[in-house]
Structure 1
Amino acid sequence: MRKQVLGKWPADVTARLDLVFADAPFPAEGKSEVEGIFDPPYYEWFQFDKVWISGQDFLQCRNLDMCVSYLEELMIREGPFDGLLGFSQGAAVSAVLAGLQQQNLLCVFRQGLALTGVSKMKCLIAIAGGKIHAPVAAARAFAGKIMCPSLHFIGDDDFVKYHSEELVEAFADPLVIRHPCGHTVPKLDDKSLQIMLAYLDKIERDIWEHSSTDANIIALNSEAQIPEV
């Protein structure tokens, strides 16, 4: 991921992103679908299965709860962070985290279902991601439109293109960059570069305008018990 992003995206994009590249917690089960695209070893954010339900192909996952806890601990330890950038499984779980953080429990603290100990996510960049439907936590994440500003990369030859299109529909105001490649981090042509720069401009404005609210969010959530996902 580091090599792909820093090697393919121009400096006028990467210089505006203070990136921390996190390793997934689980060794890949069986043959990895990115074998031949990226160098081994391969790791997974969760284990997933493709299932056929009522004539449709769905992505179901296992160990999402452990993944959520792992990422929240990392964000508390190495943050603060303004958002998430994910590729493939990383993009899928990033979308789930944004949705779970948005959903509120009916309690005095009005906690989100995930990332309760960190600042509200202000941006999400999903590259070759997909919408996952199980376990229950994933269904809760997509109970309503996700308001977090999002940017989605969708490849014409990507084997998860259908799932990427489905993920876009889960967000209230998504931007989309389409490219002719497959399951990869694409280079940015002139059109996609302008979309990316416009997205970063918007995020930077939003962060500046709402920076005074983050301390309150953190203080309330740090005193509340974090529920299981």
Structure 2
Amino acid sequence: MEKTTQIYGIRAVLEAISSEEPIDKVFIQRGLKGDLMKELESVVRKNQINSSYVPVEKLNRLTKNNHQGVVANISPITFHELETLVEKVMESKKTPLFLLLDQLSDVRNFGAIIRTAECTDVDAIIIQKKGSAPVTADTIKTSAGAAFKVPIVKVDHIKDAVFYLQASGVEVISATEKTDNTIYNVSFKAPCAIVMGAEDRGISPSILKASDHLAKLPLLGDIKSLNVSVACAVFLYEAVRQRTNY
């Protein structure tokens, strides 16, 4: 199975960014100083690359090589451009189905969602460049290889993707408990995009406000939440049920 490529060293990571490699995340040693480090931090911010400041012990676990305080993961997949992909899908399919993940952070949840998305014929998964779970070897493994089959798009801001999809004739349906409307009162038969939120805080208020519909799952037990990958599967299969008349 193809695995995430790892690069290390400040100059090597700078060169990778300059070469437009699909970098998923940069790990930077906490407290490091110097002009080259400042340059790296500036480039990472400018390109909105997902990054974390970590202790040196974390970097030592990531690689046994001389990392110079920086380790980066290059994605094993190629990401797609939003406008190009949406235009292509809208031209070729009568009722496309998109999935937006609002800063989902767990790589295994991400992998499980990708697997379900492939099984339910999702046309593209859209994630945010900064703050989203990276596509790692664990993501690929949990997806059972579906990450190589479902197009994944990275955008600067999920809200911008919401507006672009709406302008393209796609209805946006957000999964949230902050509504009285259940999933069974919402139609998924038109071209639509389902939004799932982060594990800890759900969908951001600005995206909820911009959505065409809000929908929740009825929870009948004492525990008032589902794992996000499970909730996502229920939403996707409700779309399948409505569209196929099962």
TM-score normalised by structure 1 residue count: 0.27
Bigger Rg over Cα: 2
